[in-house]
């Protein structure tokens, strides 16, 4: 569990107000924490502080939120209050957390001031002339670049936890998430060469679901991005997980953004018939083909790229080791780029799959399972220890 989420819950337990249940507060905070909706969290903290003005946990949480928003001066002021209250209450654990965060703030504040002086008045309107989506992300990226943080690209098969993985990597590198896809479509989008040129400068993280086609390989080569993560998942489960994600929108149009050759009567079919159609028309070409195409590139001894292959299954089994391997792959110093608390998955909208790795074995019919199995090569399963 994310330590920040734990602190949220401590604050809730110690500041519960009449008329709203503890469970309702937990659900509300969990929702906002997963979506990183910091402004709403701050609003709720202020409401709680009105009724419990001496709660050290609330002040620590507030300081941490401002820190995550890159508002370091505000964070430092609030953190002093949190530490003072924790000492009065003899809460040594929280006081230690306050001191640790203060060290991090002071370390970054000096660099932020340098960046501020170099890049202009914070009251000026932010003009986008690079990948950063906001002024806060822009400054965060400049700090990350000054620290020597690389840009990390995760090329991932869809429905393999790539969003959570990139959120965690952004936290580890203290870098913003950016977009390098040329189109805002769920799968099979290409990478934009112009975006990759800027991404190469460092200090950013992103993921794409792009295929290993000539356009994307040329874009990587021309932008000099030769080192990246190739992240995959058992195609049988990725296929089913994507079915649920696609249909969660309950939209005729959105379904065809995913697969633009869906037949007109597709939406009138029942679950089993829709799965049958997708197995027959989608599974082999996309879910198996996507992985095989990238693996051929990664395994080609003459390719120009340095590719680390990771799997969703390893991520689920041991996330700490998963991130440590990526840190090692990029030759980052663990003491400078520590993993910290793991972010909570942000599955929106949620589905009944909930990250399970073999849900397909229980949900599909025996005929559908046999068909999937026949379309999934033995060599692919053996290569990544996916059980037949």
Whether the pLDDT of residue 368 is over 60: the answer is yes
Q: What is the phi/psi pair of residue 385, to 5°?
A: 55, 40
* 135-383 CATH fold: Rossmann fold (3.40.50)
Instruction: Provide the CATH number for the domain formed by 3-119 in this structure.
Output: 1.25.40.10
Domain ranges of the chain: 3-119, 135-383
At 1, the pLDDT band (50, 70, 90 cuts) reads very low
Taking only the tens place, the pLDDT of each residue in 144-161 is 998 899 999 999 999 999
Compare 255 and 126 and report the one with higher pLDDT.
255
**Dist. CA 229–CA 326, nearest whole Å:** 8
- Note the pLDDT of residue 234: 97
| DSSP-assigned beta bridge partners for residue 344 | none
Q: How far is CA 375 from CA 278, 371, 385, in A?
A: 12, 6, 17
Q: H or E element: which one contains 159?
A: none
> What is the pLDDT averaged over residues 281-291?
96
Provide CB contacts within 8 A for 111, sequence distance 6+. 143, 146, 147
Taking only the tens place, the pLDDT of each residue in 70-96 is 788 899 999 999 999 999 999 998 999
**Dist. CA 172–CA 353, nearest whole Å:** 28
The encoded tokens of residue 93 equal 């654990």
Contact predicate 274/265, CB 8 Å: no
- Note the pLDDT of residue 52: 85
At 64, the pLDDT band (50, 70, 90 cuts) reads confident
Whether the pLDDT of residue 121 is over 60: the answer is no
**Dist. CA 81–CA 29, nearest whole Å:** 22
> What is the pLDDT averaged over residues 27-35?
62
The overall average pLDDT reported for the chain is 87
The DSSP-derived string for 135-150 is HHHHHHHHHHHHHTPP
Query: Does 3-119 match 135-383 in CATH topology?
Result: no
**Dist. CA 275–CA 377, nearest whole Å:** 20
pTM for this structure? 0.74
The encoded tokens of residue 224 equal 């000099």
- Long-range CB pairs of 58-67 (<8 Å, 24+ gap) are 58/11, 58/15, 59/85, 60/7, 60/86, 60/94, 60/97, 60/98, 60/101, 61/4, 61/7, 61/8, 61/11, 63/98, 63/101, 64/4, 64/7, 64/101, 65/38, 65/41, 67/101, 67/104, 67/105
Q: Single out the residue of 117, 107, 85, 89 nearest to residue 98, CA to CA.
A: 85
Contact predicate 294/216, CB 8 Å: no
At 29, the pLDDT band (50, 70, 90 cuts) reads low
213 CA to centre of own chain: 25
Helix, strand or coil, per DSSP, at residue 227:
strand
Q: Single out the residue of 351, 346, 248, 245 nearest to residue 35, CA to CA.
A: 346
Q: Which residues of 219-241 are buried (b: 16+ CB within 10 A; e: fewer)?
A: bbeebebebbbbbbbbbbbbbbb
Q: Single out the residue of 196, 199, 204 nearest to residue 172, CA to CA.
A: 204
**Dist. CA 199–CA 205, nearest whole Å:** 8
Helix, strand or coil, per DSSP, at residue 224:
coil
**Dist. CA 32–CA 382, nearest whole Å:** 40
- Note the pLDDT of residue 279: 98
| DSSP-assigned beta bridge partners for residue 311 | 232
Taking only the tens place, the pLDDT of each residue in 313-326 is 999 999 999 999 99
Burial (CB < 10 A; 0-12, 13-18, 19+), residue 354, is exposed
**Dist. CA 172–CA 327, nearest whole Å:** 9
> What is the pLDDT averaged over residues 243-257?
90
């Amino acid at each position: 569990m994310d330590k920040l989420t734990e602190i949220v819950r401590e604050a809730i337990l110690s500041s519960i107000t009449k008329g709203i249940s503890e469970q309702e507060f937990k659900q509300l905070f969990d929702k906002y924490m997963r979506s990183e909706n910091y402004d709403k969290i701050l609003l709720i903290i202020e409401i709680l502080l009105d009724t419990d003005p001496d709660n050290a946990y609330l002040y620590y949480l507030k300081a941490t939120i401002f820190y995550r928003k890159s508002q370091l001066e505000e964070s430092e002021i609030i953190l002093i209050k949190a530490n003072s209250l924790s000492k009065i209450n003899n809460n040594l654990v929280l006081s230690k957390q306050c001191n640790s965060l203060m060290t991090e703030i002071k370390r970054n504040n000096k660099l932020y001031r340098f960046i501020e002086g170099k890049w202009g008045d914070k009251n000026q309107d932010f003009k986008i002339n690079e990948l950063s989506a906001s002024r806060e992300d822009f400054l965060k990226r400049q700090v990350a670049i000054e620290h020597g943080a690389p840009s990390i690209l995760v090329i991932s098969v869809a429905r393999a936890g790539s969003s959570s993985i990139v959120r965690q990597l952004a936290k580890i590198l203290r870098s913003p998430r950016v977009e390098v896809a040329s189109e805002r479509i769920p799968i099979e989008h290409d990478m934009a060469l112009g975006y990759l040129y800027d991404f190469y400068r460092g200090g950013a993280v992103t993921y794409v679901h792009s295929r290993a086609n000539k356009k994307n390989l040329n874009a990587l080569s021309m932008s000099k991005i030769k080192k990246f993560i190739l992240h995959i998942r058992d195609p049988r489960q990725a296929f089913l997980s994507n079915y649920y994600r696609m249909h969660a929108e309950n939209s005729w149009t959105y379904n065809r953004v995913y697969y633009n050759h869906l037949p007109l009567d597709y939406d009138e079919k029942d679950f089993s018939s829709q799965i049958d159609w997708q197995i027959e028309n989608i599974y082999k070409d996309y879910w198996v083909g996507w992985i095989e195409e990238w693996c051929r590139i990664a395994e080609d001894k003459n390719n120009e790229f340095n590719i680390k292959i990771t799997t969703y299954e390893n991520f689920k089994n041991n996330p700490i080791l998963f991130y440590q391997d990526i840190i090692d792959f990029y030759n980052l110093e663990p003491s400078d780029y520590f993993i910290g608390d793991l972010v909570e998955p942000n599955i929106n909208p949620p589905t009944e799959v909930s990250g399970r790795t073999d849900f397909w074995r229980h949900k599909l019919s025996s005929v559908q399972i046999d068909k999937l199995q026949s379309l999934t090569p033995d060599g692919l399963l053996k290569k990544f220890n996916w059980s037949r």
